[in-house]
Structure 1
């Protein structure tokens, strides 16, 4: 299969890309800086912004011999530092507008499958989020990312896309190191019933799950909360 990737140079996106290529798939990645990704067999790198529909169209046209199967989005907002209190650098609707642009371009091209990485606490999962997690999300600058993810949730439901929203609990950043591929992923309904304060999931586990959902056509037009089996 052939995939359009947005966020392929991010911590989760790099794992998505590696997983796809290791399985024999191909990908075209739209990135702001071409040097942010290492060239590899099966990967086409296109420089541009997800806030630009012409740039997204350029990514689709970059591999004319490879019909696109789906898009996987692992974009996230950017803060001045890793601190949850750091100032937000991204525009307020970076994720929502990027998602809307991709959906429009794909629809125009007759491509309707898209898988988007989201976060626990979005939409109907907020009510079942542990209260300490609510406090963290509500009273730090992470709240701006949460608000943007909520806008993505609203935007994508108004499209004709066959979408899936993967709402990950607290992420463990393994910084490029492969975790146990046999580590299972526990899935919950979109409302996140069953979430606990100790739940977490590695970015590599999320990436494998995103690829599985995209390749196998799972959870179409639905959201799913994911955590790692402990």
Structure 2
């Protein structure tokens, strides 16, 4: 598959590149800082800004799917006024429509929107404080997705860390989850693999998929 990647220079984006190339996919990384990526076989690096509509449309054209791993810079998640997804997700979806690319795999987060109902009390407190602004930003941006008429899969990982790929991680539709215990963590490598699995499986279209540590969910 030809995969277009937004957010390629972040922790999860870098993992997506590694795993996608290992699976035999070709990745087109569209990013503000192309010098932050190392050229390699299977990777095309395109420098550009998301508000450059024509450049983004050109970069996305011919892709089988767009993987979006955008997020706020480290340390900004709980600060007031985070708008990175509100500002940029509409730019991406509009460019996708103009580039005739329908499939979007979007990195969201567990605790965004009504998914917080299944979280532990401690986790819900964190969502209302530590990451409140970033989660509100994601929720607002994602409410507009149905109007785009794109085929969207949203990945909702629990707390991210830099551990190794966990082949036993729980990946399941949020609609089947009634409880997530404690404050579980999952690695960015595992989330990257789950995003690629979703891109390869059209049956995940329209779903929100929880990504969590083994043994932490019930339903």
Structure 2 length-normalised TM: 0.89
Counterpart of 2:63?
A: 68
Does the CA-based 8 Å contact 1:13-1:74 persist in structure 2? Answer: yes
Deviations 1:65-118 (CA, angstroms, capped at 9, x unpaired) = xx3100000110125x47x66x56xx7332133221111111122210000010
- Render the CA deviation track for 1:134-156: whole Å, top value 9, x for unaligned: 2112123x211101110222121
Pairing 1:19–2:44 present: no
SS in 1 for 2:24: coil
1:38-86 per-residue CA deviation (whole Å, 9 max, x = no partner) reads 111111111122243233124235xxxxx3100000110125x47x66x
Q: Which residue of 2 aligns with 1:166?
A: 155
Does 1:137 pair with 2:127? yes
C-alpha distance 55-77 of structure 1, shift in aligned 2 (>3 A): farther
Q: Which residue of 2 aligns with 1:147?
A: 136
Question: Structure 1: how far apart are the matches of 2:165 and 2:149?
Answer: 36
Secondary structure at 2:40's aligned position in 1? coil
**CA distance 1:136–1:154, shift in 2 (3 Å):** same
Tell me the alpha carbon deviations over residues 142-191 of structure 1, each in whole angstroms, 9 at most, x when there is no partner.
Answer: 211101110222121221100011111111223xxx435x3333424247
Residue segments in structure 2 that go unaligned for 5+ positions in a row: none
SS at 2:125's partner residue? helix
SS of residue paired to 1:119 = coil
Aligned in 2, Cα 1:11/1:138: closer, same or farther, shift over 3 Å?
Answer: same
Cα 1:51–1:132 shift into 2, 3 Å:
farther
Moved more, 212-221 or 46-55: 46-55
**Match for residue 165 of structure 2 among 176, 179, 184:** 179
> Which contiguous aligned blocks of 4+ residues in structure 1 show a shift greater than 3 angstroms?
none
Q: Secondary structure at the match of 1:218?
A: helix
Partner of 1:29: 29
Residue 64 of structure 1 aligns with which residue? none
Q: How does 1:68-217 map to 2 (within 5 A)?
A: 68-79=63-74, 81=75, 87=79, 92-140=82-130, 142-174=131-163, 178-180=164-166, 182-190=167-175, 192-217=177-202
Distance 1:51 1:149 in 2: 19
- The count of corresponding residues between Structure 1 and Structure 2 is 215
Which ranges of structure 1 fall in alignment gaps of 5 or more residues? 62-66
C-alpha distance in 1 between matches for 2:60 and 2:173: 33
Per the normalisation by structure 1, the TM-score is 0.85
| Residue 222 in structure 1 maps to residue 207 in structure 2 | yes
Q: 1:51 to 1:193 in 2, by over 3 A?
A: farther
Q: How does 1:37-56 map to 2 (within 5 A)?
A: 37-56=37-56
